[in-house]
A and B are shown apart, each in its own frame.
Chain A
């Protein structure tokens, strides 16, 4: 066990820190779930990409710098430390990107990854359907093979970033006689394809963070298929694994929130009951535990290990921690916790309310925590199905 960073890792951290200090926006950008905010975020991503920091773990030819997972953690720590903008293209960068890296042809990698890194193409995810939520294998949208094209029909819903994205990835039933996990194909579809209609859905915060997407004989070339026909479930599981795991929710995000929570508590400590301090301490401690566990996992992966069902443990842990931290912050803020950012008295309150609304989605998306607990019980503990 060696818990010191190498000289190269320290140099990498310094480089990222310097670049972010010089380049990260001084003021928060508008929400990427508005047209104006989406444009601001795209511009920021382009700048990040020009600096070579859009997706450091990717190979150089696709816009990355071939960083290892530990450097990825360091990058994330610096990114959150700098309070840099949320990533508008996270569906692409953190979910689809690694999946293309695993299942894509060289041609697909060259076609999609650089434009993903620059956010020239922003991705929406098309997991859920009206009748395929927790039961994702119940997908009914179809992909009918027609020569060198698929004709897509059906409906996706809760497509995150759907309102302002350029592309969508999702699973479609390519074998009409198939059931459940079989006969599904993973397809990448431009949202401006004729026959595709996007209907944005306002979320809890009133902004269109997700959308319904309707497909009516939308024609997509076969080369936009990721993995083999009928192998969509396998491909998607790799995506979902990344989603629950390291890429999407690196510990820095929760350490950043925990630090803000501790600072908020320190400012109000004299007026607060001791129990609040204990609750804040538990949250900070949990964020540290998540961090240490991630370093432990990354060390294991660096030595050739794989991420398995323990990704479900991660997902439960961070999503419930995130929610607890925001609940606690709003509790500390009291009546100020009710204020919208536009309220004159909201200066200095911070974005806890927005964060709370966002955190509430955590235990639901990427597979509800009830589903994750079933996975932990069955695949890690070995309880009967």
Chain B
């Protein structure tokens, strides 16, 4: 029993964190917001060079051959930077989906994702919109709940849906399905979609932790400098308690996310439960963090110029992505009511024991 990340995993996080601190500043994000795609091909290439796009791709196909446990810390770093590039859509969701679809499609696309030469978007039967469809070279899309189709962007109609978070690019996607485009159907397709939802939710949850931490840092920094009544407003107990409450939610969401990553990596029977616990807690923390840190900033936080809203919008869009906080709470509630798993002292790691 060791609930810690190894040195290599921690190193990867700090590498990504330092890289993004330098390359993905709020100023850079604002410039991207004004661009047509809101995406940076240079940044994507550099992320690929760090190994991020191919983190879940087998080494034989040019990736790092790592698992979700190793991905969760770098994803948190991506959230901290407010990174807009499609690490969730392409690296955390599409890559493992292609890996499981396997065959020629995987052989063709996985190496290209790993090198940063391709972006792949993924739709889901429970979701209306597809993230990063506007720039995807390949789209993996549902028809009903029983078929996965793979199509190049030239073969689909992408209608962009302007979103509250300028970093988020989502679209409705229509396409004509054919036997040729179908890459999985029936039970297999349903299993792929279930795993896809969990991977998307997990990756969003991990980013939400980073977003929440960034929001807190901005608020601590601002309230330490801003003076009223002759003292820093951060010295007032009312402000302190707002921010302590955010920290509380953040710190108790974190182990849930890390545990969920482990369950996804190990394909645990309780994967969906653990992911929902994590997504609920992490997004609730981030959305709560957005509200509290805005309050602590006062009017300045309500402006477009202040960077706070970059991360507030990330908190909201991550909450809406891959099942909102309440969608996931409901999944947990239903499982708990059914008594689908053991609960109580000593039951937390029961599933892992059965794997022995």
Contact = CB atoms under 8 A, between A and B. Distances in A.
A10 interface: yes
A381 B242 CA distance: 12
A289 interface: yes
Contacts of A291: 348
A278 B240 contact: no
A345 interface: no
A383 B220 contact: yes
Contact of A289 (B234, B235, B247, B281): B281
A384 B277 CA distance: 34
B13 to A, nearest CB: 13
A81 B346 contact: yes
A350 B239 CA distance: 40
B243 interface: yes
Contacts, number: 173
B267 to A, nearest CB: 14
A3 B259 contact: yes
Interface in A1-30: 1-6, 9-10, 13
B3 interface: yes
Interface residues of A, number: 63
Of B255, B280, B281, B337, most A-chain CB atoms within 10 Å: B255
Given A259-B344, A269-B337, A284-B336, A4 B1 contact: yes
A290 B5 CA distance: 19
B232 A384 contact: yes
Contact residues of B: prevailing secondary structure: helix
B245 interface: yes
Nearest to B330: A278
A370 interface: yes
B255 A289 contact: yes
B228 to A, nearest CB: 13
B187 interface: no
Interface in A335-385: 370, 373-374, 376-378, 380-385
Contacts of A70: 1
A258 interface: yes
A262 B336 contact: yes
B229 interface: no
A373 B333 contact: no
A4 B216 CA distance: 34
A286 interface: yes
Interface in A237-287: 251-252, 255-256, 258-259, 262, 265-266, 269, 277-278, 280-282, 284-286
Contacts of A381: 216, 220, 240, 243-244, 247
A77 B3 contact: no
Interface in B332-356: 332-333, 336-337, 339, 343-349, 352-353, 355-356
Query: In the complex, which range does the number of interface residues on chain B fall in?
Result: 35 or more
Given A9-B1, A292-B256, A81 B344 contact: yes
Nearest to A282: B329
B329 A293 contact: no
Q: Please indicate which of the listed interface residues A288, A293, A376 has the most CB atoms of chain B within 10 Å of its own CB.
A: A288
A313 B277 contact: no
B258 interface: yes
Interface in B197-246: 216, 220, 223-224, 231-232, 234-235, 237, 239-241, 243-245
A15 to B, nearest CB: 14
Contact of B255 (A2, A278, A292): A292
Q: Which of B244, B330, B336 has the most CB of A within 10 A?
A: B244
B59 interface: no
A186 B354 CA distance: 49
Interface in B261-320: 262, 277, 280-281
B179 interface: no
B251 interface: yes
Contact of A5 (B1, B224, B254): B1
Contact of A378 (B240, B248, B251): B240
Given A3-B352, A292-B255, A374 B234 contact: no
A281 B333 contact: yes
A277 B231 CA distance: 45
Interface stretch (A95-103, A110-118, A202-210, A295-303): A295-303
A218 interface: no
Contact of B224 (A262, A310, A317, A384): A384
Given A285-B277, A383-B223, A256 B255 contact: no
Given A3-B262, A256-B344, 5 more contacts: A5-B349, A252-B345, A289-B277, A293-B252, A381-B243
Interface of A: 1-6, 9-10, 13, 70, 74, 76-78, 80-81, 251-252, 255-256, 258-259, 262, 265-266, 269, 277-278, 280-282, 284-286, 288-293, 295-296, 298-300, 302-303, 310, 313, 316-317, 370, 373-374, 376-378, 380-385
30 contacts: A1-B69, A1-B262, A3-B352, A78-B346, A81-B344, A256-B344, A259-B343, A262-B336, A265-B337, A269-B337, A282-B329, A284-B343, A285-B280, A285-B329, A288-B277, A289-B252, A289-B256, A292-B258, A295-B3, A295-B348, A299-B4, A310-B251, A313-B247, A313-B252, A316-B248, A376-B247, A381-B216, A384-B231, A384-B232, A384-B234
